[in-house]
Chain A
Amino acid sequence: MAFSKNSLIITLWAILTSLMASALVYKSVSGGITFDANILNVLDLGDEINDLTKAAAEPFKTKGLLLIQHQEHQVSKTTLAKIAEQLLAKGLVQAASSEPSKDFDVNELANIYSSYPLAFLSQAATRAKNNNDYSHIVNNYMGLMSAPSNPLVSLTINKAPLLNLADWFADKSSINRWQQDQGFTYIEHENKRYYPLFLNFNQAAIQLDTVVATIAQLDKLVAQYQTSNMEVLSSGLMFHSAAITSQASFETQLFGGLSIVGVLLLTLVSFRSIQPLICISLLLGSASLSGMLALTLVFDNIHILSLVFAVSLIGVAVDYGYHTLLTAKYTGFRNKQLRGYIAPAIFVSGGTTIISYLLLLLLPIPLLQQVAVFITAGLAFTIITALTLIVHWPWQNKPETHPPINELGLQPKGFKAILAGLILCCLAAAPTWFFQDNINAFNSSPAHLVNNEKRVSQIIGNQQYPRFIYTKGDNQQQILERLEQIRLAINSINGGEFELLGVDQWVPSINTQQANIKWLQLGLAQGKLTPITDFMTTESVSNLNASSDSFMTIEQLPQAILTLYPAITAKEDNQVGILSYMGPIDPKFLQTLQQQLDFPVHYFDQPTKYSEALAKLRGYLLLFLMLAACALLLLMTFRYGYLQGLKLAAIPIITALSSLALSHLLLGYVTLFNLLACILIIALAVDYVVFLIEHGKQQHVIKAISLSAATSGIAFGMFVFSSTPAILQFGLTILIGVIIAWSLCFTLPTTILKRNQ
């Protein structure tokens, strides 16, 4: 009868788990699960900065660069052409050109711009306008007309017969920094000639799940064509993204595989039976399934980092499995009796952990909210599994009875010494305490890629990644006017040495367009352009003289141009315009720039903004940890009385604090990832303490705690070998925390565990 009841409960558990698995498979197959790896989406940069970051980063997201250098220039050019051809053939890139930004259609542009025949003046023509020197327009016309063939002339002369538009387009297609060599561009550096291949990757080829394969194909191509003495340098975010993803994937598989093998071996050795191993595997599998299902039901977009930190579920969940199994083994309790014995401890420790994690939902960080949902659902199902599947498992073994540990004359000592040591560590770390929020501390790009970027910067003379300068305005036109003024001011400061990219290069403000039209029409009226108008038909001249009240706006620009520059973003009543500056920016430069302008100009320092966002996130985590500590104190004092509750709650808190202190002493700083580890440490330590107080210092309790600590140590200890700083920091603190928590619990005097009835 008992067996059939057990079978019924186990069958119900299996049905519930199968339903969850089916729901997850359905969500997965129907495309209902999307993953995100963009770090920007987990940091609270503030709405404005968030929008700016995205707008500023957009034009550079798909852009990559290869620089090829060989003594024989022809070899470089041939290699470059072959790589470009293969990349295009494989569909990895939209464009692979030896010239920057050559993916727009001149015919289309000429068509659009010709509707405003007098509105555009090249930089040289603008200088001539400022000096009221019409001879530039005349000379330019004569020069362009003297050429046997010039497509810009052919495309624009019918509608813009002064050829100011042809001059404008010549300006736009000039690639000042690069020199020409038979259809290829190059740059000289240290007497070596570097040929560039500008790549515009397909969006689909650089997604989280494709970027590794894309870059691997590119590397293979490069290796295939690379000859001896050839230098190939790469630059672009996708190269780093591929390296980091590949590294993280390798580490996850290696550490994950090793820790699963370790945990299973440990379980097998401890129980010397296959059945507990099956129970533990089912418990962990179903907990992960439940967590994942809850995550996909609550959130549309799951961040990959949430899953990394959600791994901590394994460390907590396995505890309940071990406690239930070992209690069954050593007490001989089964079914209802076992459930009645183990349930209070599981509810208290599990409840404390769940409440702590639920507090994360109060923080406005999607990453932490996702971790909370995953762990809460996972732990809730762990409790169900422990109290149903494991409790009602048809165990056949006879109980192994052992006396309590304090009756063995084997009372471990050293609790006070350990406590004193931990306090000393905390005191030693305190004077130099430093929270590291600098984003660079988390950079896990391989050194050769970072060196490549530096080398490319040296060769092309620009900062490899732009600095962003932005300004606000009431409307698009005011933004364009302000961008023009900033451009003028920067050029006056540095003589136009560094590239300054912005949409204003392609669409001058209406004020500027009006001024250009007015100046050219004045020249026509005053006869200053007679050498040109002599050749024009009367109709052409009268068309130019006709007043125009239509002007070009950003909306008319083709998409191919718009994607080259940061967009003007609307924010409440304001508009924000961004310029990408390829030169260095320091406070003096900014001060000089601001002095020349009568409106505020801002420097968008991306690394600083990220660091500030990390500091903010760290602040939230500290707040959360304090709330969790308060919740722990309340729950413990509520269940175990004021004094004993206080003493018991102190153990997880001291463990977390001293783990942080020891991490600080080892690393020289602590980061938000060390703090994240403290959440798990508190959860684990609470488990140890609750089982000790609920069941006394029995051998099976100590064994369960030891097993739990060993598995957590194996699982998270692996992380210290990670080359990803965040994972290393997380793993190190947990490893230290687990050792401390186990040592404190193992040596905990039984006097502290005596409960007031």
Chain B
Amino acid sequence: MRHFFSSLLFLLTLHFPILHGFELPWANQKHIQGNFIQEKRLAALSRPFVTQGKYQYSPETGLVWNTLKPVDNFLLINQDGVSEKQADGSFKMLTTDANFSAMLLPVFSGDPQELAQYFKISENSKGLTLDPMDPNVSNVMQSLDLVITEQALQQIILYESNGNLTNIYLEAHTQLKEKGQ
């Protein structure tokens, strides 16, 4: 029993500093990069569509989403939308809908003000639940669950209104540079 309470206390102390006032642990990092595994579970698919690759985030360039398996694909997500790198090096805009692309950027920036601008934020046992406030977005994207460890964003679960679900597992190799340095 004592052991149980010790564990509970440990868990609480683990989460409180992370989420208090939504001070996300990666918020001070200028660059974030790492590997990801993305698993799409869609009603139209017989099995999950799994992709693997690297990601890189910086406030200046936005989020680079470089899929390496099963195909090589390079996406740039920033305030302008989602664009895909073509064979000739140029970028083709996949969607210009800034409302949607803007959703992921505050998640990676960890800026609580930006998050609060786009989402209604609530805590859950593993981290945060983000409900989009823009009705055009919430028609498609129901909510995002962020699984947060002491140091980093570990997983993003994206629930869509048609029952589709996307699980993104992140393995961070952060460059611990303070902002402004």
Contact = CB atoms under 8 A, between A and B. Distances in A.
B96 A99 contact: yes
B14 interface: no
A146 B67 contact: yes
B93 A142 contact: no
A158 B141 contact: no
A182 B44 contact: no
A535 interface: yes
Nearest to A160: B44
Interface string B73-89: 10101011110100000
A106 B75 CA distance: 22
A116 B137 CA distance: 25
A629 interface: no
A535 B49 contact: yes
Contacts of A148: 38, 65, 77, 104, 156, 158, 166, 168
A154 interface: yes
Contacts of A170: 93-95
Interface in A629-680: none
B138 to A, nearest CB: 11
Contact of B139 (A99, A107, A139, A143): A107
Given A157-B42, A157-B44, A149 B158 contact: yes
B98 interface: yes
A266 interface: no
Interface in B92-149: 93-98, 100, 102-104, 137, 139-141
A145 B40 contact: yes
Contact of B43 (A143, A158, A182, A531): A158
B114 to A, nearest CB: 13
Contacts of B93: 170, 174, 180
A144 interface: yes
Given A143-B71, A143-B73, A150 B95 contact: yes
Contacts of B79: 180-183
B140 A154 contact: yes
A522 to B, nearest CB: 21
Contacts of B38: 146, 148
Interface in A136-181: 139, 142-152, 154-155, 157-158, 161, 170, 173-175, 180-181
Contacts of A175: 96
Interface in B1-50: 38, 40, 42-47, 49
B171 interface: no
Interface stretch (A35-43, A224-232, A414-422, A536-544): A536-544
Contact of B80 (A157, A180, A538): A180
A181 B96 CA distance: 11
A28 to B, nearest CB: 45
A149 B100 contact: yes
B104 A149 contact: yes
Nearest to A176: B93
Given A173-B95, A535-B49, A536-B44, A158 B162 contact: yes
B93 to A, nearest CB: 6
B96 A151 contact: no
B104 A144 contact: no
B166 A142 contact: no
A537 B44 contact: yes
Nearest to B66: A146
The size class of the interface chain A forms with chain B is 20 to 34
B164 interface: yes
Interface in A519-556: 531, 535-538, 540
Contacts of A150: 82, 94-95, 100
Nearest to A163: B44
Contacts of B162: 154, 158
B79 to A, nearest CB: 4
B95 A151 contact: yes
A236 to B, nearest CB: 23
A170 to B, nearest CB: 5
A537 B43 CA distance: 9
Contacts of A151: 95, 97, 100, 137, 140-141
A155 B100 CA distance: 13
A535 B71 CA distance: 15
Contacts of B46: 535-538
Contacts of A99: 96
A297 B50 CA distance: 76
A180 B81 contact: yes
Contacts of A158: 42-44, 162
Contacts of B150: none
B70 interface: yes
Contacts of A174: 93, 96
Interface string A361-396: 000000000000000000000000000000000000
A244 to B, nearest CB: 37
B51 interface: yes
A151 to B, nearest CB: 5
A640 B128 CA distance: 105
Contacts of A535: 45-47, 49
Contact of A145 (B51, B82, B141): B51
A180 B96 CA distance: 8
B94 A147 contact: yes
A531 B77 CA distance: 26
Contact of B45 (A106, A182, A536): A536
Interface in A453-477: none
Given A107-B139, A181-B80, A538-B46, A146 B71 contact: yes
Given A157-B42, A537-B44, A146 B95 contact: no
Contact of A146 (B65, B103, B139): B65
Nearest to A138: B71
Interface in A309-358: none
B139 A173 contact: no
Contacts of B95: 150-152, 170, 173
12 contacts: A99-B96, A143-B75, A146-B71, A146-B73, A147-B77, A157-B164, A170-B94, A173-B96, A174-B96, A183-B80, A536-B44, A537-B45
5 tightest A-B CB contacts, nearest first: A180-B80, A182-B79, A146-B67, A142-B71, A183-B98
Interface of A: 99, 106-107, 139, 142-152, 154-155, 157-158, 161, 170, 173-175, 180-183, 531, 535-538, 540
